[in-house]
Structures are given as structure tokens and as C-alpha cells.
Chains A and B, each alone.
Chain A
Amino acid sequence: MIQVSNLSFSYTKKPFISDMTFSVSKGEIFGFLGPSGAGKSTLQKILIGMLTTYQGSVKVNGIECKERTKSFYEEIGVDFEFSTMYEKLTARENLEFFRSLYQKKGRPINTLLEMVGLEQDADKRVSEYSKGMKSRLNFIKALLHDPVLLCLDEPTSGLDPTNSRMMKNLILAERAKGKTILLTTHNMQDAAELCDRVAFIVGGKICALDSPHNLIMSRGAATVTYTWLDNGEHSISCPLNQISSDEQLRKLIAENRLQSIHSSEPTLNDIFMDITGRTLL
């Protein structure tokens, strides 16, 4: 679906995105993670053909982004990190307007509104919408013309837990339909749950690219942390797969002196800290 090779780009003379190579296959959810200002949105803008002054090759849906024509967008749905609706029109009018821009017939508006629980508010003006309602509306706007590639910039930000859950289910449902999805997020839990693969971007470079599972495993085993009282509180951590050889722990268990014991599995969050911490040093 997407092949990027030796991509370089900069807004200024100073090199920014340099020599990136990766590919995304059809039906995959691909996440871009990284600190603020790392170039995630910039990379997305290149992939959707909004920045065309790059070096190297970027092929999306078989088309070199530099040479795209406007019909390229018949098959791409973009959900920006901000609302792009006419505030004075109702949600339904906005959706009708944006659907009229595509050649394809697209999906029925009512079904889309029901999907995100906005059917009751469909005839309200967008200016009366809350932040979360706006992000749900902008999400279905990206689905209107039933594109094969979805580009979502922070789709769960500003949503309450219920709506965030619903949004994630909708994203997974799109993948089940065979859509390819590019996703940026600062929420590592969402990324771990949704993405088939993630790329960590720091300072315009890809520092790690793998499935969340592999990245987490590569960091090493889970640890166990336990505390006990002995002239004040003491606390020790040891790897989960070596606890049988921890004499101290065995002794504490035998004497029933443990105050607390926790196991902690590494998460994508730890990977994020490791990677960004390492490169920020």
C-alpha cells in the first residue's frame, strides 16, 4: 500500500526528515509514535500528498505522491488533529457537502452518524458541538467516501473513556474491512492495542520499527518489586524469570514478612521513554 524509500524532507535548509525507508502493507494499522515536534504530522502530510518537495520516493496506492493528481484523494480519508467543518452548518449538511465532492457514492450518512452515536445531534450546528462530538464527526467525515487508506491524527484525543473505546473499535472494524490505517497518537496504550506495527520517530528519523509485542519483548523480562520492614522499609526488584534464585525473597516468603509484592511488565510507554530518553541524551 505504501512504500517509502530514502525519503528526505525539510521545511528549511536544515535537514529534518532524513533517509527514511519503510513500507506499510494493505490491511495494516501502522502507528507513528514519538515526542512532540518529531515530524509525525509532517510525515503524514508527505504521505497524503500535501508536501511534495521531498527527495526520495514515496508511493501510496501505487502513485508517487509528488506526481499525484487530485483524483488521488478519491481513495484517501484524512482525519486532522483539528475540526475542518463549517461551523454554521449542521453535522448532516457538512457531511452532505463533503460527500458531494467525491465521484464515489460512498457510505450512507445516517449509518455513519449512528456508528459514532451522533444521530440525535445530526441536525445541530457544528458550532454547538463539544470537542469530543467534533472529533467523532471529523472521524466519520474521513470515512464518507469509503477510502482504502485512512490517515488519523490523534483520533482518541479529547474523548471520554466510553467514546475512546468506541473509536478504537471503529478503527479495528475498518481494518477488518481491509482498510489500511495510518495513526498518530501520544497514547501508548492505544498504540499497543490498535497497531500491527509502530514506528518511533525522533528528530525526523525512525529509531525503531516493529510490532508493539516485539518491541516490548525486546526490552527484557518483567520485574518483580517487593518491600519489607527491617529497621525501616526496604525495596528490591528482580527479574520475574529469576525469582526462584532470589534468596532474600524466599526467606521473606517463608517468614511471612513481605509488605508488598508487585510484578510489572514492560509497556510501550517504557519503550517510548527508553528510545526518546536515549536519543535526547
Chain B
Amino acid sequence: MRLRGLFLWDIRFQAKYGFYFLYAVLTVIYTIIILAVPENWREKTATVLIFSDPAAMGLFFMGAIILLEKSQHTPCAFAVSPVRPAEYIISKVGSLATVSFVVAAALALAADVTNLCIVLLGTVISSTIFTLLAIIIATNIISLNQFILWVVPVEILCFVPAILHLFQITPGWLRHYPLNVCMEMLAGFTPSIAGIFLVMVLIVFLFFLSKHCVVKMWNGMGGVKL
């Protein structure tokens, strides 16, 4: 009940901040790009676009949303409300995953990908990972500059191996690197059992870590300057 309410409110907040408008425009631009490239390049283009934007948007947007909440002291209000940290996180992850899903679906359909289900599942999984990472970073820092400082290395660690993986440049020991597995799914391949298992382990780990960080932020009461 409360979770559903939180989720709907998160959607409302994102709409208020012009987030959906921005993504509507971006979707149109990406679709034009996909339709502009030669037909045999479309699927790969769509994979790269989906990975770098709808899937990874959580990294920036969730960071921005949490920093904004901190600047308005709403974490204190959550701290003294019956909302559980898990509900807060699931609602945030779910609301962004929904947008990721819709945008990725539009791009995948435009590119006429072969394995739509796997692509969309990969999108939701990647979006979850990136949003959780953003929550962990944003709860621990106090300024936008600091956020950017932390996001860049995380981005390199997440993006570089995955992009290389898409072009089959992967050292053996990174075969089941979770972000590589996500990229495989976005490219329409069914992942290996080991790969999926590692992705799940990563998500569970990030979820518990983000729960810990959210509790720390709520009870920390610190202000934030933007």
C-alpha cells in the first residue's frame, strides 16, 4: 500500500521536474539516430544507446534527485515517518526502471531488435544496478561537485568493460562481469547461468549497502549545499 503510494509520488515528482519531457525529447532524437544509420548497424547502435542512456540514466538522475531531497531536508522527514528504507529504495529504483523500460522499448522497436524480451529485461536489470549505485554515492556526499567526482570512476568501471565486451574485446576473467552480462542482454543474447547469478549477487549486495546508506543519511540530519 505505502509502497504503491511512494512509487506513484516518485513518478509525480519526476514529472514535475520535467524529467519525462526531457526523455520524450531524447527518445525522439535517439530514434532519429537509429533510423539514420544503415540497417545492419541499427541493432548495435540501439544497444549502445540503450546502455548509455535509458539503462544508465539512474546514475545521474537518482544522484540529482537525492541531492535535491537532501538540500530540502526531506531525509529528516523520512527518518521520522513509518517509511522503511527498503520501501524508499524500491520505489526509487522502480520509478526509474519504468522510464528506462519505456524509452528502451521505443528504441528497441525502432531498431527492430531480434530479442525484445531479453533486451527489456537487460534494461530493467541495468537500470536497477545504476540507480542503486547512485543512491549509495549520493547518500554519502554533500555537494554536486563531490557527486561528479565519484560518478566518473564508477562510470569508467561500468562502461569501459561493457562497451569493449560488445565489440568482443573481453579478457577471460571479465567474462561474467555483471555489467558485461547486462550488455550481452541489451544486445539480445541470453546470458549464462553463472552470469545471471553474479548479477543477482551484485544487486542483492548493492541493495543492502544502499539500505545501510539510506538509514545513515536519514538519521544523519546533515544539511547539504548545492
- Among B69-101, those with CB < 8 Å from A are 69, 72-74, 76-77, 79-84
Shortest beta-carbon distance from A213 to chain B in Å: 32
Shortest beta-carbon distance from A105 to chain B in Å: 13
Q: Please indicate the chain B residues that have their CB under 8 angstroms from the CB of A74 in the complex.
A: 82
How many interface residues does A have (CB within 8 Å)? Answer: 28
Q: Is A87 within 8 A of B73, CB to CB?
A: no
Shortest beta-carbon distance from B98 to chain A in Å: 19
A100: Cβ under 8 A from any B Cβ: yes
Q: Check A76/B9 contact, CB under 8 A, given A84-B74, A85-B74, A89-B16.
A: no
In whole angstroms, what is the CA distance A87 to B17 when docked? 11
Q: Is A102 within 8 A of B9, CB to CB?
A: no
Q: Is A70 within 8 A of B83, CB to CB?
A: yes
- Among B1-18, those with CB < 8 Å from A are 2, 5-6, 9, 13, 16-17
Q: Please indicate the chain B residues that have their CB under 8 angstroms from the CB of A97 in the complex.
A: 9
In whole angstroms, what is the CA distance A113 to B88 when docked? 27
Q: Is A78 within 8 A of B80, CB to CB?
A: yes
In whole angstroms, what is the CA distance A48 to B16 when docked? 32
Q: Check A50/B80 contact, CB under 8 A, given A82-B73, A83-B73, A100-B5.
A: yes
The residue from A50, A82, A88, A101 contacting B82, defined by CB atoms under 8 A apart: A101
In whole angstroms, what is the CA distance A89 to B72 when docked? 12
Secondary structure call for the A interface: loop
A129: Cβ under 8 A from any B Cβ: no
Interface residues on chain B, size class: 20 to 34
Contact with A along B42-75 (1 / 0, CB 8 A): 0000000000000000000000000001001110
Q: Check A48/B80 contact, CB under 8 A, given A83-B72, A87-B72.
A: yes
Q: Please indicate the chain A residues that have their CB under 8 angstroms from the CB of B5 in the complex.
A: 100-101
In whole angstroms, what is the CA distance A76 to B77 when docked? 12
Q: Please indicate the chain A residues that have their CB under 8 angstroms from the CB of B221 in the complex.
A: 45, 50
- Top 8 nearest A-B pairs (CB, nearest first) are A84-B77, A100-B5, A78-B80, A84-B73, A101-B81, A70-B82, A73-B82, A50-B219
